[in-house]
Structure 1
Amino acid sequence: MTTTITGARVFDGERLTEHTAVRLDGGRVEAVGDDTLLRPGDEHVDARGGTLLPGLIDAHVHLLPGALRQALAFGVTTVLDMFSKPDTVRDALVQGARPDAADVRSSSVGATAPGGHPSMMYAPFPYVTGPADAERFVADRVAEGAAHLKVLYDDGTGGPLPMPSLDVPTIAALTAAAHRAGLLVAAHVSTARGAVDLLSTGVDVLAHVPFDAMTGRQAEAVARAGVAVVTTLSIADGFPRDGAMPLLTSALAPRLGPAWRAVLERQGRRWLPPRLPDFAVARDNARLLREAGVPLLAGTDAPNPGTVHGASLHRELEHLVAAGLPPAEALAAATARPAAVFGLADRGRLHPGLRADVVLVDGHPDRDIARTQHLTAVWKEGVRADLDAYVGSADERDGLTALRAQTEKVIAAVRELLPTFGAGE
């Protein structure tokens, strides 16, 4: 079926263009131009002044069963998984090949030290004990279908529960092995010092804007190294604001469905430390990195508390604009820019010959970023998605069951370390 969308504003992944129509055929964008693209026999969609965007890309998720269907329902046509177990990845690769689910690229299991993050949630899985393990670890991930490598580093100052960490020489060895295998390397860091520590190793991407204050000199060092940063500012949505979880007060809330709304409501009532993180610092760091010329990529870290696959990417765009990015640049951080950094040359832009991953929204998100939340239609490889099919499905139930199991595993591990954790709550 050939689909022609007319009467649109067209954002091509980098800028708003003069075009008003896009023609989709054979899973590709056949043409971009004006309303004369419409041919007899085409399926015609009148955009009525809405805005067409490339399919959105979430550059940092962790998979749940069915998460790819949930992501597509919110206009996210590609997700980049940054740590999942091999069986979950195997199932996701099968589901992601279907027209009713987002495409996926995964790291499979990330490289971390014995007992290191995220052991609480995912153990058992293979660990890395030193540089000598690098070649075999990377080869095993490639065999599991990994498209990039995730490494985890903690400089010892990033949280209340210090955990074992890989050292810099080990990450350098892993990075070299990954590059020889043709894989990009994304490194988990949480502090400014940790980010700078890893610049000499050759990692390609830092996963997370640091949560402690960066200096301008540190931001410039990241820029000189040519490293991109996945922002994950949506982590802030894990904490109630004015008594409610942020996603529940957004325009997306009705489309989450009752089961996920209930999850978010429960998460808003969970035990929280008396002093919450200062997420203004992370926003300031994003601003500093942007001013230094560092490519910022939109990523959510879903399904962390307060985040939902697909939906939270729209909140991430709002966070980026709050950090100082113009709306059009925030849109690029979720389309053309992650596609370029991760070597996805067939997507991220609305250009002839590229994948027909397309999102239609009501309004002008290049002016008001919140308009991305007003989804009208989504196409993956030219096939129009049913935006209501996930809610109430077996995939939703399986995802919620897996999330509950992960949460209970983490709580049990924390209570073992801190017997008084959550006492009285």
Structure 2
Amino acid sequence: MTTTITGARVFDGERLTDHTAVRIADGCLTAVGDDTLRRPGDEHVDARCATLLPGLIDAHVHLLPGAPRQALTFGVTTVLDMFSKPDTVRAALADAAGPDAADVRSSSVGATAPGGHPSMMYAPFPAVTGPRDAERFVADRVAEGAAHLKVLYDDGTGGPMPMPSLDVPTIAALVEAGHAAALIVAAHVSTARGAVDLLPTGVDVLAHVPFDALSGPQVDAIAAAGVAVISTLSVADGFPGDALLGEPALGPRLGPEWRAVLDRQRRRWLPPQLPDFAAARTNARLLHEAGVPLLAGTDAPNPGTVHGASLHRELGHLVSAGFSPSAALTAATARPADVFGLADRGRIRPGLRADLVLVAGRPDEDIAATQEVTAVWKQGVRADLDAYVGSAEEQAGLGALRAQTEKVIAAVRARLGVEL
């Protein structure tokens, strides 16, 4: 079956184009042009007054059962997983082989010290004790199907509960082993100092914008190193946690059970002094202005975030930080595709995958328009936007999230002696 979409405004991943139509066959874009692309017998989609985007890419998630299916219903056609255990990854990759779930690229288990972050949620898993473990650790992740490598570093200043951390020489050895295996290496850091500490190791991606203020020289150092940075500004949506519920085009589509989860998260115990995310937003702007590639990522399913839906909030956060709407769209399409070597997606061009999102309005002018998703195609197959809510996959994801949450609460209670 050949599909032709006509009458659309076409954003190609970097800019709004003069094109108004695309033609899809065998899972790929075969032509981009005007309405004359339509042929007798084509399945025809009239997209007048709507904007066609490349399928969105969330550059930082952690998988739950069914998460790729949920993400696809919100126009996210590719997710980059930054730490999940092998059984969860295998199930997600199996789902992603079909047309009704987002494509998945995973690090599998990330490299962290014994007892290091995120042991509270995922332990037990293999840890790294020093540089001598690097080659074996990377080989094991490749055997599990990892498409990139995640390493975790804490300089000791990033939170109220310091945890054991890999040191810089160990991360350097992991980067060397990862690059030898042709893997992009993404590093978890949360502070400005931590980000700069890791630049000499050759990491490719910093997995968060630092949450404390970057100085001018630190911004310059990150830009000179040629690393990319994943934004994860949506972490702020968990404090207090009602942001998604207030989005009229997103909240109702979450379904009653996910809305109930967000409501419980909103009412959970929070510290008296809530985190201030202003520095992270400023850092995102400064890095963007310095030419650092910024990639849109949500860190879902952190409190207040949901797979797929939260990427639209992330785009809004980027615009609030000072990005143009077009630059924010690029951060969720062409830019992550470039950084992670996904040459077959992220843009609307002949020969690429027909991963597409049709949204009402003009998101290149008003980023909130991305939330009005009207159609999604993964490799040319139109997705059922209502398939996830109420499904067995939804129940499995909710159950896994509940178990993870209870595990973290018990660990925090034991460590801090706080009733949560």
Give the TM-score normalised by the residue count of structure 2. Answer: 0.99
Q: 1:201 — aligned with what?
A: 201
Amino acid of the structure 1 residue aligned with 2:242: M
Which residue in the other structure is 2:409 paired with?
411
Aligned residues: 419
Residue 177 of structure 2: aligned partner: 177
Contact 2:412 2:418 in 1 (8 A): no
Superimposed CA distance per residue, residues 249-276 of structure 1 (whole angstroms, 9 cap, x where no aligned partner): 1121110000000000000000000001
Runs of 4+ in 1 over 4 A off after TM superposition: none
Residue of structure 1 in register with 2:52 after alignment: 52
Q: Residue 36 of structure 1: CA displacement?
A: 0.2
1:414/1:421 contact within 8 Å kept:
no
2:380, 2:415 → 1: CA distance? 50
Counterpart mapping for 1:21-420 below 5 A: 21-240=21-240, 245-250=242-247, 251-420=249-418
Letter in 1 for 2:370: T
The one-letter code matched in structure 1 to 2:243 is P
Q: Given that residues 29 and 356 in structure 1 are in contact (C-alpha distance below 8 angstroms), is that contact kept between their aligned partners in structure 2? A: yes
Take 2:327 and 2:116, find their aligned partners in 1: how far apart are those partners? 35
Aligned equivalents of 1:375, 1:216: Cα separation in 2? 39
CA distance in structure 1 between the aligned counterparts of 2:97 and 2:60, rounded to whole angstroms: 19
1:130-157 superposed Cα distances (whole Å, 9 cap, x missing partner): 0000000000000000000000000000
Residue 305 of structure 2 aligns with an amino acid whose one-letter code is T
Quick check: 1:233–1:316 contact (8 Å CA) kept in 2?
Answer: yes
Distance 1:333 1:290 in 2: 10
Deviation at residue 415 of structure 1 after TM alignment: 1.0
Measure how far apart 1:91 and its partner are: 0.7
Report the CA distance between 1:420 and its aligned residue: 2.7
* Deviation at residue 239 of structure 1 after TM alignment: 1.4
Q: Is the 8 A contact 1:2 1:25 kept in 2?
A: yes
2:11 aligned residue: 11
Superposed CA deviations along residues 51-81 of structure 1, whole A, max 9, x for unmatched, are 0000000000000000000000000000000
Quick check: 2:28–2:352 contact (8 Å CA) kept in 1?
A: yes
Contact 1:30 1:353 in 2 (8 A): yes
Residues 4 and 38, structure 1, Cα contact 8 Å, conserved in 2: yes
TM-score under structure 1 length normalisation? 0.98
- Distance in 2, matches of 1:126 and 1:408, equals 22
- C-alpha displacement of 1:96: 0.6
SS at match of 2:365: coil
Equivalent position SS for 1:22: strand
The CA distance in 1 between the partners of 2:71 and 2:200, in whole Å, is 35
Task: Please tell me whether the aligned partners of residues 362 and 374 of structure 1 are also in contact (alpha carbons under 8 angstroms).
Answer: yes
Using the aligned pairs only, state the percent identity: 81
| Partner SS, residue 164 of structure 1 | coil
Instruction: Work out whether residues 158 and 190 of structure 1, in 8 Å CA contact, stay in contact via their aligned partners in 2.
Output: yes
SS in 2 for 1:112: coil
- RMSD value, Cα: 0.6
Superposed displacement of residue 421, structure 1: 3.7
Letter in 2 for 1:144: E
